[in-house]
A and B are shown apart, each in its own frame.
Chain A
Amino acid sequence: MLAQQILNGLVSGSVYALFSLGFTLIFGVQKLLNFAHGATFMAGAFIAYYCTINGLPFFMAIGFSMLATGLIAILIDLIAFRTLRKRGNAEFPALVSSIGVDLILVSIAQQVSNTQVLNFPFGTFPIQFYNILGLRISLLQIVILVVVAVLVAALIFYLKKTTFGRQVRAVATNERAAALLGVNAQSVYLQTFFIAGALAGLAGVLIGLLFNSIQFLMGEPYMLRAFVVVVIGGLGSVQGAIVASLLLGVAQSLTVAYLPSGLTDAIIFGLLFLVLLVRPNGLFGDINAVAGGTRQ
C-alpha cells in the first residue's frame, strides 16, 4: 500500500503544483497574495463542465477554459490590483480586494450551479486502469502526470530562457529599473496573471475530472494548501513550489493512510511550522527570491 499511496500523493501533488505555480508566480512578481486564485481554479472547472455538457469536445473545452480563466485573471488584475498598485503599499488592500473578488466569483458559481455538486458526464475521459509493478494507476492519472510535467518544464523554460522570462525576472527584481531599461511592467503583470489564471483553470479541470466533483467551494482547500506550498517551497520560488507541492501531496496521502485522517490538516500545518523553524525562508529559501530574480 505504501507505494500506491506515494503514487496517489504524486498525482495529487502534481495538480497542487499547477495550482500553486500561478499563485507563487503572482506573489513573486507583484508581492501580492491573490486570494481569488482559488475562485479562478473553480471557474476553470465550471467553464470546462458547461462547455462539455453543451457539446464542445472535451479537449477543446479544456483549451477554452484555460483561455477564459487566463482572461478572468487579467480582469482580476485590472479590477482588483492595478489601481491599488499605483497607490503603492498595496499588499494589505490588495489582499482584501482579492478576497472580495473571490467571494463574487464563488457567489456567481453557487447561483449558476444552484448549489449542486457537478461532475463531468461519465465517459468524458476513458476509464482505464493498469497494474504496473503492483501499482494500480489509471490512464487519467498517467495523462495528468505527463501534462503537468510538460507544462511545468515549459513554464520554467519560458521564465528562464525567453525574453518574456527575463522581463518577468527584471520586473520582479526591480520594477523601476526594469522600466528604465524599456520593460513594460504592466504588460508583464498582465501576462503573469494570464499564465497564472490559465494554469489554475487547467488544475481545476483536472481536479474536477480526477475526483469526479465540481462545486463552488472547491477552491478553498486548494488555497490553503497553496499557502503551505509557497511557504514551504520559499516565497516566490517556482522550483520550491513544485517540490513542495509534490511533498505535500505525498505527505497528505501518507497521513491519511497511516494516521487518523482527521489529523491530516493538523499534521500538514505542523510540518509547515517545522520547516519554518528549520528554514525560515522555506526549502528553496532566499527571502528575496522572486520568480527567479532577487527583489531590490
Chain B
Amino acid sequence: MKIRTQILAATSGAAVMLGGVAQAEDYKAVILQSLTGGAAFIGKNVADGATLAAEQLNEEGFFGEGNKLVFSVEDDATDRTQTLSLITRLAADPDVLMIMGPTSGSVALAGANVANEREFPVMTTTNSMEVLENGPWSFIMTQPASVTMPFIADYTSETLGVETCAVIGVKDNEAYVALQRMYEDLITEAGVDIVSNDGVALADSDFSALATKVASANQDCVFVGTPAAQGANIILQLKQAGLDPSTAILGHNAFASPTFIEKGGAAVEGVYLIGAWVPGGGDDAFSQEFATSFEEKMGFPADEWNAMGYSGMQVVAHAIRDAAEADNATREGVRDALGAQEDVPVVVGTHSYSFDEERVPYFGMKVLQVTDGEFAVAPE
C-alpha cells in the first residue's frame, strides 16, 4: 500500500497571529484520488489541479482573513480495500469535513457506500449516477454521459450528417464504457448505423489488427472513446493502416488534452471532440490564468482532468465557505451547501458549475476540432 501525503499550510495567516483578532478557523478536507493504479491517469491529474486550486484559494484568503483550508492528498490506489480503509479512517476524524474523491469505477461506488453509512460527504470524480443513488452524502464531480454525449452525438448525426460509424472504446473502465454506450444509443436513435464496435484495454498499445480491420471497412466516421494518449495512438495507427482520409474521426472530452495533439501530431488534425476544458483557457480570463499558473507550477500544460480537479476544488471551497458563513461548518452543513451550489465560477465548460435538485452537476461542453495543431471551436 502506498500513501503519499502532503500537508500544505496557508501563507496568509500573519494577521491572526496578532492579539485581538478573531480566532482563525481551519477547515479540513482530503483530496482522495487514484495517484497509482489503473485510474491514476485520471486521479493524479485531478489531484494536481485540486491542489493548485486549494493553494491559490488559501493565498487569496478565500475563506476569510486568517482562515484556511487544511488539506491532504491521499491515494486510493484504484483499490477498493484501500479506499474503504482510508474513508473509514478519515470518517473517524471529526475535523475532516469532506473528501474530494475517490476517483472512478467500483472504487468510487464502494467509497460512496461507506461514506453514506458514515454520513460523511464525498465528491467522487466519476460521472456514475449510481454514486448518487447510494445516498445523500455522495456527489459526482463530472457530468454524466446523459449531459455530455448529446453534444458530440448531435454533431455527428446533424452537423456532419454521417450515416455509418465504427466505434472503438475502452472495455475496462466503467466511465468510458458509459460514455461510449450513451454515444451509441444517441447516434443509433438519430439513424446512424454502427458498422463495428470494438473494445481495447487501457494498457493496450498494439492496435495494428484493429486499425487494419477498421481501415478496410467502409464507414463515414470512426468514434474513438479512449483517454487522450491512447486515442492519439489509435488514430495514428488507423491512418498508418490506410484509413480513408475523408472519414470523420470523433472522440469525447478525454481528448481535450494537449497530450492528444502532442502524441498524435499530424494524424489527429481534423479530429472532432467535446471539451469541458479548452487547452490554454480559450477566451475566458479565469481559465487562462489557471492554464498559466498550472504550467508554471507543473512544467507541463493542463489537461481536461487537471482543469476538472481545479474546478472541483472551487466547488468544494464554495460549499465549505457557505457552510462556515451559515455558522454550520459541519459535515451536514457542508453536504447541504455542496448540493446547493449554483453558478460557481470554474475553468471548464461554460465556466459556471451548478448542481440541480437531484445533485447532478452541469457545467456544459463545447464541440472542438483539432485545427492547425490546436483545439478550436468546431464549425457549426
Binding site for B on A (CB under 8 A): 1, 4-5, 8-9, 11-12, 107, 110, 114-117, 119, 122, 127, 129, 136, 138, 207, 210-213, 215, 217-218, 220-221, 252-254, 256-257, 260-262
Contacts and interface: CB of A to CB of B under 8 A. Distances in A.
Contacts of B205: 207, 211-213, 215, 218
Contact of A107 (B2, B44, B230, B240): B2
A217 B36 contact: no
Contact of B40 (A5, A115, A211): A115
Contact of A262 (B171, B213, B300): B171
A114 B259 CA distance: 13
A11 B41 CA distance: 29
B283 interface: no
Given A110-B40, A262-B171, A136 B206 contact: no
A107 B3 CA distance: 12
Interface stretch (B195-203, B344-352, B358-366): B195-203
A256 B265 contact: no
Interface in B197-242: 197-210, 212-213, 216, 227, 229-230, 232-233, 236-237, 240-242
Given A122-B265, A257-B213, A117 B230 contact: yes
A286 B212 CA distance: 38
23 contacts: A12-B208, A114-B44, A114-B300, A117-B41, A117-B227, A117-B230, A117-B233, A117-B259, A119-B233, A119-B263, A211-B233, A212-B233, A212-B236, A212-B237, A213-B263, A221-B201, A221-B203, A252-B209, A256-B213, A260-B199, A261-B198, A261-B210, A262-B199
Contacts of A136: 241-242
Contacts of A114: 44, 300
Given A129-B240, A220-B203, A221-B201, A9 B209 contact: yes
Interface residues of B, number: 39
B373 to A, nearest CB: 12
Given A116-B259, A210-B206, 11 more contacts: A5-B209, A8-B209, A11-B208, A110-B36, A117-B227, A117-B229, A212-B232, A212-B263, A221-B201, A253-B212, A262-B199
Nearest to A207: B205
Contact of B213 (A1, A116, A138, A210): A1
Contact of B212 (A8, A115, A127, A218): A8
A110 B78 CA distance: 14
B212 A1 contact: yes
B230 A213 contact: yes
A67 B230 CA distance: 29
A250 to B, nearest CB: 10
A4 B213 CA distance: 9
Nearest to A221: B203
A220 to B, nearest CB: 6
Contacts of B242: 136
A138 B212 contact: no
Contacts of B227: 117
Contacts of A256: 198, 209-210, 213
B212 A257 contact: yes
A212 B238 CA distance: 12
Interface in B158-213: 171, 197-210, 212-213
Contacts of B232: 212
Contacts of A253: 208-209, 212
Contacts of A211: 205-208, 233, 237
Nearest to A258: B213
Interface string B228-263: 011011001100111000000000000000010001
Most-contacted residue by chain B among A115, A207, A252 (CB, 10 A): A115
Nearest to A262: B199
